[in-house]
């Protein structure tokens, strides 16, 4: 595409500064890919207190900045750093962002002022454009936290300003999180009451940030074609399927890519050894290292199954929990899991690791390093999600020759090709029914392939490692979305 866009991306997460899940990875990589394709792009993030300003060379850029919220002016300052050449602006407002978590405290209680915190982020991002004369063609919002941006652009008066012609794109990374809050927060957003109606911001007498964003965005997308289809149905639409259907051709699915500079076994900085399709030897060393971290039996012949992820209902780890003992008791396997979230699941997996000693390990916490080692050191990676907008870990797994075992939903369906036992083709193992039965037998199928059909395993691993889901490809699709938003 010849057109060069000016893009303002606003998000609550961006790797490496602040991440709780895939949104961070996406915002850490897509801007870079867009920049490499010649677009001018910058990112606006909150300046959370845990971001290491020294490490990332973050410097004061603009101060003071007044932002109109409701009927008062809030004051903040803007800091800046560059990440792979992309300018990143950090909004510093300590009442809102000087916290240990992004969205909730240690006990997983949502911060009660979240609607105000993120409404403020949106207005501040636009104010920065006004103050510094940046005129974006596209304002790209991500999830409910920044979903007020399309509404601000459409409903406030921007005549004769740099935002006069800006169009908006809203990416839904997860439709289950909509930002539904008491309407007492509404005046603070500064959006007129005429927008507080069903179909726009009103949702059962509360505010729904995402619903309003969907209504006002010039283009809406989600992160895989299958999830895009799923969420336009009442069964999976989380109450917003009708709103999405109403967008018609202004709603589509664009599969996420992977930042292969970060996620490749050839040069992953967290691994004790590197490997590739033609030189796979290093994978064994990673497997050993992983076994060592968890004090597992140092046997590289046993099938090792890995899991990394947030312990939330979406991910299906409660389904896995139901069959875990049966798996451990009936199959010759080792199992490792890394994650945090639901306290019951945390306790369950911790206690299982204790019970199964040298065959099972659990790390309850967040560790980037261990996430990489599990991707590299495991033979299989399990994602039994109830739903999955895209999912990144299964795509990382492919690249590391760690065969994904996934439920065929959302992006899991779009990125994994099911093993064909007759031809030996495929890149992983899929099941459809969200049942313990289906999960148990699919893991059994994978494990039996490991032991009984090593020639097929080799082929599957080779296939998996050769697949590419580059951001460059997805960035091209975002260009079309941007163009559509502008027309
Ligand atoms: P989601 O965004 O729904 O959490 P994704 O698969 O898109 O799911 O992305 C998850 C990202 O978060 C991956 O990069 C994964 O490695 C990372 N991640 C999740 N939990 C942890 C954890 N406990 N420690 C380290 N990384 C984690
Ligand atoms: C969300 C989804 C996940 C997706 C990620 C990045 O957190 O749960 O499936 O990969 O966003 O788009």
DSSP per position, 252-272: EE----B-TTTS-TTT-TT-S
Q: Which atom of ligand 2 is nearest to the CA of 23?
A: 6
Task: Residue 320: name the closest of 257, 411, 381 by CA.
Answer: 381
Share of the chain above pLDDT 70, in %: 100
Residues 335 and 238 in one domain: no
| 65-98 tens-digit pLDDT | 999 999 999 999 999 999 999 999 999 999 999 9
- Residue 197 Cα to ligand 1 middle (Å): 36
* Whole-Å CA distances, 458 to 263, 360, 400, 462: 21, 25, 13, 6
Task: Residue 243: name the closest of 277, 209, 272 by CA.
Answer: 209
- Residue 21 Cα to ligand 2 middle (Å): 7
Peptide bond into 299 cis (omega under 30): no
Residues 392 and 407 in one domain: yes
Pocket of ligand 1 (CB under 6 A): 21-23, 25, 308-310, 338-340, 366-368, 371, 390-393
Residues 85 and 234 in one domain: yes
Q: Running DSSP on this structure, what letter comes out for residue 109?
A: P
Q: Is residue 274 part of a domain?
A: no
Q: Are strands 86-92 and 72-83 parallel, antiparallel or unpaired?
A: antiparallel
Q: Crossing angle for the helix pair 317-330 and 343-356, nearest 10 degrees?
A: 10
- Residue 332 Cα to ligand 2 middle (Å): 32
- How many beta carbons lie within 10 A of that of residue 15, not counting itself? 18
Q: Which atom of ligand 2 is nearest to the CA of 173?
A: 11
In this structure, what CATH number is given to the domain that contains residue 334? 3.40.50.2000
- Predicted confidence (pLDDT) at residue 2 exceeds the cutoff of 80: no
* In contact, 274 and 267? CB cutoff 8 Å: yes
3-state SS record for 345-364 = HHHHHHHHHHHHHHHEEEEE
Distance CA 8, CA 153 (A): 13
Name every residue whose Cβ is closer than 8 Å to that of residue 431 and which is 6 or more positions away in sequence. Answer: 405, 406, 407, 408, 438, 439, 441, 442
Q: Which atom of ligand 2 is nearest to the CA of 256?
A: 12
Q: Which atom of ligand 2 is nearest to the CA of 385?
A: 9
Q: Is residue 268 part of a domain?
A: no
Q: Is residue 98 part of a domain?
A: yes
- Residue 222 Cα to ligand 2 middle (Å): 9
Residues 368 and 419 in one domain: yes
Residues 475 and 432 in one domain: no
Ligand 2 pocket check: which of 14, 20, 23, 411 to mutate, most ligand atoms within 8 Å of Cβ?
23
- Predicted pLDDT of residue 3: 84
Which residue segment(s) compose the domain that 383 sits in? 282-466
Q: What share of the chain is helix, strand, coil (3-state, %, to 5)?
A: 40, 25, 35
Residues 252 and 355 in one domain: no
Residues 453 and 334 in one domain: yes
The neighbouring-strand residues paired with 310 are: 340
Ligand 2 pocket check: which of 173, 236, 258, 412 to mutate, most ligand atoms within 8 Å of Cβ?
173
Q: Is residue 263 part of a domain?
A: no
Q: Which atom of ligand 1 is nearest to the CA of 15?
A: 14
Q: Is residue 302 part of a domain?
A: yes
- Residue 366 Cα to ligand 1 middle (Å): 9
Q: Is residue 186 part of a domain?
A: yes
Q: Tell me the two tokens of residue 357.
A: 């000693």
Task: Residue 388: name the closest of 171, 258, 252, 230 by CA.
Answer: 230
Distance CA 235, CA 233 (A): 5
Could you tell me the pLDDT band of residue 403, with boundaries at 50, 70 and 90? very high
- Residue 51 Cα to ligand 1 middle (Å): 18
Q: Which ligand is nearest to the CA of 176?
A: 2
Kindly report the average pLDDT of the chain as a whole number. 97
Domain count within the chain: 2
Distance CA 385, CA 269 (A): 29
Residues 443 and 479 in one domain: no
306 burial level (CB within 10 Å; 0-12, 13-18, 19+): buried
Task: Residue 15: name the closest of 25, 2, 30 by CA.
Answer: 25
- Predicted confidence (pLDDT) at residue 158 exceeds the cutoff of 70: yes
Average pLDDT over residues 431-456: 98
* In contact, 381 and 415? CB cutoff 8 Å: no
- Nearest CA owner, ligand 2 atom 11: 173
Residues 443 and 457 in one domain: yes
| 262-286 tens-digit pLDDT | 999 999 999 999 999 999 999 999 9
* DSSP-based three-state secondary structure for 409: coil
Q: Which atom of ligand 1 is nearest to the CA of 173?
A: 2
Distance CA 290, CA 271 (A): 10
Residues 128 and 222 in one domain: yes
- Predicted pLDDT of residue 1: 66
| 322-341 tens-digit pLDDT | 999 999 999 999 999 999 99
- Predicted confidence (pLDDT) at residue 302 exceeds the cutoff of 90: yes
Average pLDDT over residues 19-23: 93
Phi/psi at 16 (5° precision): -95, 5
- Predicted pLDDT of residue 47: 98
- Residue 60 Cα to ligand 2 middle (Å): 31
Task: Residue 238: name the closest of 216, 214, 271, 218 by CA.
Answer: 214
Q: Is residue 411 part of a domain?
A: yes
Q: Which atom of ligand 2 is nearest to the CA of 388?
A: 9
Q: Crossing angle for the helix pair 148-155 and 209-216, nearest 10 degrees?
A: 50
Phi/psi at 91 (5° precision): -90, 115
Q: Which atom of ligand 1 is nearest to the CA of 256?
A: 7
Task: Residue 147: name the closest of 240, 228, 224, 217 by CA.
Answer: 217
- Residue 370 Cα to ligand 1 middle (Å): 11
* DSSP-based three-state secondary structure for 99: coil
- Nearest CA owner, ligand 2 atom 10: 391
Peptide bond into 463 cis (omega under 30): no
Q: Is residue 152 part of a domain?
A: yes
Residues 237 and 295 in one domain: no
- Predicted pLDDT of residue 106: 84
Pocket of ligand 2 (CB under 6 A): 21-23, 26, 173-174, 223, 256, 388-392, 411
Residues 374 and 448 in one domain: yes
């Amino acid at each position: 595409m010849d057109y060069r866009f000016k893009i303002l991306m606003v998000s609550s997460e961006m790797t490496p500064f602040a991440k709780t899940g895939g949104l961070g990875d996406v915002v850490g990589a897509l801007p870079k890919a867009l920049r490499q394709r010649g677009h001018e792009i910058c990112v606006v993030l909150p300046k959370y207190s845990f971001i290491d300003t020294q490490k990332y060379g973050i410097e004061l850029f603009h101060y003071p900045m007044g932002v109109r919220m409701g009927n008062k002016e809030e004051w903040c300052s803007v800091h800046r750093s560059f990440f792979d050449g992309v300018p990143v602006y950090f909004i510093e407002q300590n009442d809102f962002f000087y916290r240990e978590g992004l969205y909730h405290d240690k006990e997983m209680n949502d911060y009660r002022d979240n609607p105000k915190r993120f409404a403020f982020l949106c207005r501040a991002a636009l104010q920065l454009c006004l103050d510094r004369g940046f005129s974006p063609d596209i304002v790209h919002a991500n999830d409910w936290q920044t979903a007020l941006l399309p509404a601000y652009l459409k409903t406030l008066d921007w005549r004769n300003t740099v935002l006069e012609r800006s169009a908006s794109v809203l990416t839904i990374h997860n439709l289950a999180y909509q930002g539904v809050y008491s309407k007492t927060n509404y005046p603070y957003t500064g959006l007129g009451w005429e927008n507080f109606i069903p179909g726009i911001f009103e949702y059962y007498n509360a505010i729904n940030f995402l619903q309003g964003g969907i209504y006002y965005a010039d283009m809406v997308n989600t992160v895989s074609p299958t999830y895009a289809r799923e969420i336009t149905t009442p069964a999976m639409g989380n109450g917003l399927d009708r709103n999405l259907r109403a967008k018609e051709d202004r709603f589509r699915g664009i599969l996420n890519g992977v930042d292969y500079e970060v996620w490749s076994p050839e040069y992953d900085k967290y691994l004790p050894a590197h490997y590739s399709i033609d030189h796979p030897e290093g994978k064994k060393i990673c497997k050993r290292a992983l076994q060592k971290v968890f004090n597992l039996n140092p046997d590289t012949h046993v099938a090792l199954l890995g899991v990394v992820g947030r312990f939330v209902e979406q991910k299906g780890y409660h389904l896995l929990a139901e069959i875990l003992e049966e798996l451990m008791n009936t199959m010759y396997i080792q199992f490792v899991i890394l994650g945090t979230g639901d306290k019951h699941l945390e306790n369950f997996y911790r206690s299982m690791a204790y019970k199964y000693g040298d065959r099972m390990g659990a790390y309850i916490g967040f560790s980037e390093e261990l996430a990489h080692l599990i991707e590299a050191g495991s033979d299989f990676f399990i994602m039994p999600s109830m739903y999955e907008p895209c999912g990144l870990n299964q795509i990382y797994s492919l690249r590391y020759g760690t065969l994904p075992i996934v439920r065929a939903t959302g992006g899991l369906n779009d990125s994994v090709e099911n093993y064909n036992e007759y031809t030996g083709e495929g890149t992983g193992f899929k099941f459809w029914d969200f049942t313990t039965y289906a999960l148990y037998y699919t893991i059994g199928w994978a494990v039996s392939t490991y032991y009984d059909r090593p020639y097929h395993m080799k082929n599957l691993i080779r296939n998996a490692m050769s697949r590419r889901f580059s951001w460059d490809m997805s960035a091209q699709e975002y260009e079309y979305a941007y163009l559509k938003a502008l027309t």
